[in-house]
Amino acid sequence: MRMLPLSSAAVAAVAAALAVLPSAAVASGTPGASSFTITDPRIKESSGLAASRIHPGVYWTHNDSDDGPYVYAVDSATGKTVARVTLTGIGTPRDVEAISLGPDGQLYLGDIGDNLNGTWDHVWIYRFEEPKELADVTVKATQFTVRYADGPRNAEALMVHPVTGRVYIASKDESKGGLYEGPAAAELSTGSVNVFRRVADVPWVTDGAFSPDGTRLTLRGYFMARTYPWKDGRPEGEGERVDAPWQGQAESVTYTPDGRTLMFGSEGVNSRVVAVPVPSATPSPSTSGASAGSAAPGAPSAPAAAEPPGSFTKGAAVLAVGFVLVFAAKRLLRRRGPSA
């Protein structure tokens, strides 16, 4: 995503304030998965994450924009890219914000961003089969055109339900975002527009993910993450707060295939993906023998110490960032002086 323009002083100050948060972390172990750093210099704006089901320890990601029709497979044991997929059969990607893996073994890529919040009357979803082999490859993708029933909007979160296969998009709005439900998986059309309808209100969201068993939906934003019980195709209640890490530009989240761990990612060169255990999580029966994030493709390795959320309280961090923004704005106004 593209942040709204601020003064250079404000941007630098906010970045500095957020950068100190991970340094306050207290070392501890995270069972089931390990944090890792994406080392590929081509991945500068990792904006989505999806855990592979057929390649243990591998995560699919992509850049936000200005990259091309590419999706990267990153090995969490090393942080290195082990495959780059080039998509054909689609137009030029505009603002790719999310990726999710469906129960059909297909990866869904959401070209759903709209930084001007209503400029584009349609967005796109690209779908392609998860490659069986990890190697640079070119695949033909299917392109779906999407419109919202209540008009254009900005969005950064796309989630495919792991049981029904239905696609959901969460819009990003300062006051009240919306969760939008697409047609049934078998009814997605390439010959007509797919209309997504609002089914629930959600907070400011930059990404989301369903638990592998489909009973929970986790949504994250810049300053929050919450997990909601999922029932009858809707999130229930106010959700439970997740102790997500502080990250400079919090952009992505996914569950490990066993459902025990949430993986939180951010944009930036050498961005960190942080493993956070799911409280009282039980392993998925189909994946209880695999520990995502603890193995290279096809070969287990010992998990490293995880990067915990940190010892800074969230309230203090928000106040610190707010102070920096106010201070920067006052300085900018003083420089401009009174209007004529």
Q: Residues 77-126: pLDDT tens digits?
A: 999 999 999 999 999 999 999 999 999 999 999 999 998 877 899 999 99
CA dist., res. 177 & res. 154, Å (int): 9
> Which of 230, 194, 193 shows the shortest CA–CA distance to 215?
230
What is the dihedral sign for C-alpha 165, 91, 124, 100?
positive
The per-residue pLDDT for 33 is 83
| 297-310 as b/e: b if 16+ CB within 10 A | beeeeebbebbbbb
pLDDT band at 283 (very low <50, low <70, confident <90, very high): low
CA dist., res. 107 & res. 114, Å (int): 21
Q: Look at residue 315 and tell me whether its pLDDT is greater than 50.
A: no
Say which range, 173-187, 214-228, 277-291, 307-321, has the weakest mean pLDDT: 307-321
pLDDT band at 339 (very low <50, low <70, confident <90, very high): very low
> Which of 205, 231, 234 shows the shortest CA–CA distance to 220?
205
The per-residue pLDDT for 159 is 98
pLDDT digits (tens, 9 = 90+) for 46-86: 999 999 999 999 999 999 877 899 999 999 999 999 999 99
pLDDT digits (tens, 9 = 90+) for 170-202: 999 877 899 999 998 889 999 999 999 999 999
Tell the burial category of 138 from Cβ atoms under 10 Å away from its Cβ (0-12, 13-18, 19+): exposed
pTM > 0.85: yes or no: no
| Mean pLDDT to the nearest integer, 305-316 | 39
The per-residue pLDDT for 119 is 87
